[in-house]
Structure 1
């Protein structure tokens, strides 16, 4: 088998449905499997997978053991030469995996490949490619100077070696994952992707950023939402430094102080609500019960148009549209601040999107 797509889910049933539909299309011409690990979600994620995706291998954990352990459980049952660690709040293009396999098959000492990620408003996510977060680099990031944190030497649409990739999308050989013992289970959530990337580098492999395919990651780079979140985030940073940067004790002490100060003085996230004054639907005519819930006036187009007025809600009907075309359109329209996007998954009775990295997304049922 060529590819195993590993999706760890927790309580995002509707995003998971959209994700799985995009993955199923993307692996149509690949010898591949999809493995979903559910970390004891309180919603109906598991029953949805069983009903709509019978070919998906579903692992139902009876507790929430965290991101690292959950993924390790899934990878242990994977049969593919390659793995794709994929968040459930993502959408892949039809040719994403084909492009990555073609690129990967030609490389020696291949580590992890990441790709271009955009958020739910079509904006590029800089965490798609990062440098090693040394204590010095991370301290500067905490203080608001992130120039050295991100791998800005590579342009967004190019491909090249990088150090650190993001756990929302990681493509690598299973032999490499096993060689470094996978995700470190000392991390419950956050930091495990940095740790895995760094372990792979130290083992002598090359990590790559592949800018020639784009994946939507709705939530984007998480912002500190509450004390519990902040404690886990900074706790993960402490684990990473303790494991990999033990020698410089004085500088580490400065970093600990910076972490504590950032935790104490963190600001609550600001969510800017975009008020839609019109709706634009790309695709076939949609259900009248949905139209009754949308902002008037409603304009319907069978093809994607580049020019749209500000304060529009754009609905992409994936019953007819290609995901790749939708992603490219989002990237073009991301320059307009007051546009929001919604997806109508194939054969579904809801639309969804995410206008902010700090909310659980927006879902409308019909």
Structure 2
């Protein structure tokens, strides 16, 4: 067990079944409009390997009701309420029976043979601890969701300057299998032993950056990750609310939680300042030029609270001062 792993969160209550090639874990949240397309895509995506599908509903239970009535083969795991993406996946993993966990977003629709490609990629790269797919847009081209970078001051500075240097570099060569630092969190498969070594996700993260934190902790133990080019799926980002103010607040809070957890105090402070600066610049640009460039106006609306109410997210998910505490107390 990693001494730095989150404690008391991940407990296994199922025996591993070697006959099941992969356990597919889906954490749903008010996903009734999308879950059918996701579940219907799994069969064609995994034709050559055995699998099980587990789902927990973190939302209002309507997704669970739909799945129970229309997809009897899906194993419904009792909901603990809206506990967040990290805790939801840990809960599902504790019920999974395979020695591999595939995390699948409910807004992901897989291409045929995508899971087969992922499993075969794992066989080709057995030294890795995780193997991820590629997300594509409606036209079938890789989207910007694949441009994920491990947090660094260089990345924060480049983003504040208007362009993610490291993230954009991830888009080059995306048509080939590659070893990378970060995989797409909505379509990624983990080796069970590596997952348990670090106790899965750190449940302090409610939404966003939890997968980056997991890769970071695995990487510190020497684990490696591979992106498998032929494993592809369409991702309906944030259920069509990619730039909603609340979503951007959660993203900022997740980033703040990561740097607070893993970086020195001065470095963490500088990183959070750069996150704020990038948001402020986008709000300013939107207000100055939004009349002529609607995209900038939408971006300004999305980053508004990150820029103008930094006290909401600067402390990450701290129980007393973090975003969840602020929202729960309706303070601001």
TM-score by length of 1: 0.67
Deviation of the 1:62 alpha carbon: 4.5
Deviation of the 1:165 alpha carbon: 1.3
Per-residue deviation, residues 299-351 of structure 1 (Å, max 9, x unmatched) = xxxxxxxxxxxxxxxxxxxxxxxxxxxxxxxxxxxxxxxxxxxxxxxxxxxxx
Moved more, 189-198 or 99-108: 99-108
C-alpha spacing 1:150/1:165, structure 2 compared with 1 (3 Å): farther
Aligned counterpart in structure 1 of residue 191 of structure 2, from 173, 189, 192: 173
Aligned to 2:40: 21
Aligned counterpart in structure 1 of residue 268 of structure 2, from 252, 261, 264: 252
Maintained 8 Å contact 2:26/2:55: yes
Deviation of the 1:28 alpha carbon: 4.1
Maintained 8 Å contact 1:114/1:129: no
C-alpha spacing 1:106/1:156, structure 2 compared with 1 (3 Å): closer
C-alpha spacing 1:209/1:29, structure 2 compared with 1 (3 Å): closer
Aligned counterpart in structure 1 of residue 231 of structure 2, from 188, 213, 219: 213
Aligned to 1:71: 89
Which consecutive unaligned segments of at least 5 residues does structure 1 have? 273-366
Aligned to 2:117: 99
Aligned to 2:59: 40
C-alpha spacing 1:130/1:151, structure 2 compared with 1 (3 Å): farther
Aligned to 1:346: none
Aligned to 1:152: 170
Maintained 8 Å contact 1:39/1:62: yes
CA distance in 1, matches of 2:276, 2:148: 23
Which consecutive unaligned segments of at least 5 residues does structure 2 have? 1-19, 297-332
Aligned counterpart in structure 2 of residue 131 of structure 1, from 138, 142, 149: 149
Per-residue deviation, residues 60-91 of structure 1 (Å, max 9, x unmatched) = 41520001001110011001121110100111
Deviation of the 1:13 alpha carbon: 0.8
CA distance in 2, matches of 1:85, 1:125: 19
Aligned to 1:163: 181
CA distance in 2, matches of 1:103, 1:207: 11
Maintained 8 Å contact 1:114/1:208: yes
Higher helix share: 2
Deviation of the 1:271 alpha carbon: 6.6
CA distance in 2, matches of 1:139, 1:168: 26
Maintained 8 Å contact 1:129/1:162: no
Q: CA RMSD in A?
A: 2.4
DSSP-derived class of the 2:53 partner = strand
CA distance in 1, matches of 2:37, 2:209: 26
Aligned counterpart in structure 1 of residue 107 of structure 2, from 89, 96, 112: 89
Q: Bigger radius of gyration, 1 or 2?
A: 1
Moved more, 211-220 or 263-272: 263-272
CA distance in 1, matches of 2:64, 2:167: 37
CA distance in 2, matches of 1:67, 1:39: 8
Off by >6 Å, runs of 4+ in structure 1: none
Aligned counterpart in structure 2 of residue 261 of structure 1, from 269, 272, 277: 277
Deviation of the 1:266 alpha carbon: 4.3
CA distance in 1, matches of 2:164, 2:26: 30
Moved more, 103-112 or 122-131: 122-131
Deviation of the 1:96 alpha carbon: 1.3
Moved more, 249-258 or 86-95: 249-258
Maintained 8 Å contact 2:56/2:64: no
CA distance in 2, matches of 1:111, 1:151: 23
CA distance in 2, matches of 1:155, 1:29: 27
CA distance in 1, matches of 2:156, 2:68: 43
